[in-house]
Structure 1
Amino acid sequence: MDFLKLLRSLEEFLYELCTWFLFFPRTLYRVIVHPRRMAQYVNTELTQKLDKQFDDAISPPMFLMLAVLVAHGVELLMHQQIVGIGQLSRTVFGNEESLLLYRSITFAVWPLIATVHMLRRKKTPLTRESLRRPFFMQCYLTAPFAVALSSSMVFVRLPGELSTRIGLTVSVLAFLWYAAVQAGWLKVALQRSWPNTILSTLWVLLLGIVINSVIGWALLVN
């Protein structure tokens, strides 16, 4: 009986894995080309029954984690794995599961900051329910940024001036795209003027950079 349950679990996992190969690039394309439409898509899907949600795409948190996994795959293909310096960094970077968890958390910082900032500006209480909808939207919007930025850093670390230029160009374009998408999302969510929206966008991006920089520094010195 337990063996049959194991087979069914493996069957479900294999099916889910195969659907990722189809729905990940499709969802990525939809987010890049129509970010505002995909944010509205989250609104629609979260009103459905749990087993019907995101039936033609990948759920936002899973989509963000898969984006990190894809970027890690690029790193492995290019033989550019990060080597830790301190004991803590060696523990994190030397283990695939720990490394993927660390990167997922660092990129999830931006969705969390944007969500909390939006709710506080709207004076909405911070609860699990109030966080869920905007956080899911932000996971969609952050995933392309995660793929592009992580992959660009691989090229920056490669020897040669051309690869470095390609990496820096891609990283700048990724930041510009992400800043524009964040500004558009915050403009709709907060219903404020463009100068006010730009200040909110800069605050979200800079705070995310500072938090991730502090985390990275803590890893390097320990």
Structure 2
Amino acid sequence: MDFLKLLRSLEEFLYELCTWFLFFPRTLYRVVVRPRQMAQYVHTELTQKLENQFDDAISPPMFLMLAVLVAHGVELLMHQQVTGTGQLSRTLFGNEEGLLLYRSITFAVWPLICSVHLLRRRQRPITRESLRGPFFVQCYLTAPFAVALSTSMVFVRLPGELSTQAGIVVSVLSLLWYAVVQARWLKMTLQRSWLNTVLSTAWVLLLGIVINSLIGWALLAT
């Protein structure tokens, strides 16, 4: 009986894994081309029953983790595996699970910060339920940025001036895209002036950079 349950679990996992190959590029394309519509799509899907949510796409948190996984796959293909210098960083980066978890958390910092910022500006209580909607939207918007930025860093580390320049260009373009998308989303949700929106966007991005930099510094120092 337990063996049959295991087979059914493996069957479901295999099916889910195969659907990722279809829905990940499809969802990525929709987010890059139509980020505003995908934000509305999240709110619509969250009103459905749990088993029917995101039936024609990948759920936002899973989409963000898969984006990190794709970028990590590019890194492995280029033989640019990250290694730590401190004891804690060597332990964390010494296995694939730890490295992927670390990168997923660092990119998830921006969705969390932006979601909290939105709720505070709208003077709404910060609860698990109130965070869910904006956090899911932000996971969608952050995933293309995670793929592009992580991949660009791989090319920056490759030997050769051309690959380094290409990596820098891609990283700058990805950051610009992410900043514009964030500004448009904050403008739409907060209904504030463009000056206020730009300041909010700069604050969110800067705070995310500072937090991730502190995490990286702590890992390197221990």
Classify the TM-score, shorter chain. Answer: over 0.9
| TM-aligned CA deviation for residue 83 of structure 1 | 1.1
Match of 2:48 in 1: 48
Match of 1:152 in 2: 152
Match of 1:77 in 2: 77
Match of 2:215 in 1: 215
How far apart, in 2, do the equivalents of 1:54 and 1:33 lie? 18
| TM-aligned CA deviation for residue 4 of structure 1 | 0.1
Counterpart AA for 1:111:
P
Any runs of at least 4 consecutive aligned residues in structure 1 with deviations exceeding 3 A, and if so which? none
TM (norm. structure 2) is 1.00
Q: Deviations over 1:128-170 (max 9, x none)?
A: 0100000000000000000000000000000000000000000
Match of 2:112 in 1: 112
Match of 1:193 in 2: 193
Q: Deviations over 1:59-96 (max 9, x none)?
A: 00000000000000000000001111010010111110
Q: Deviations over 1:163-222 (max 9, x none)?
A: 000000000000000000000000011110000000000000000000000000001111
Is 2:171 the partner of 1:171?
A: yes
How far apart, in 2, do the equivalents of 1:127 and 1:86 lie? 36
Q: Gaps (5+ residues) in structure 1?
A: none
Percent identical residues: 83
Q: Gaps (5+ residues) in structure 2?
A: none
How far apart, in 2, do the equivalents of 1:92 and 1:206 lie? 25
How far apart, in 2, do the equivalents of 1:217 and 1:157 lie? 19
Match of 2:122 in 1: 122
Counterpart AA for 1:125:
P
How far apart, in 1, do the equivalents of 2:157 and 2:221 lie? 21
Counterpart AA for 2:207:
L
How far apart, in 1, do the equivalents of 2:84 and 2:134 lie? 34
Q: How many residues align?
A: 222
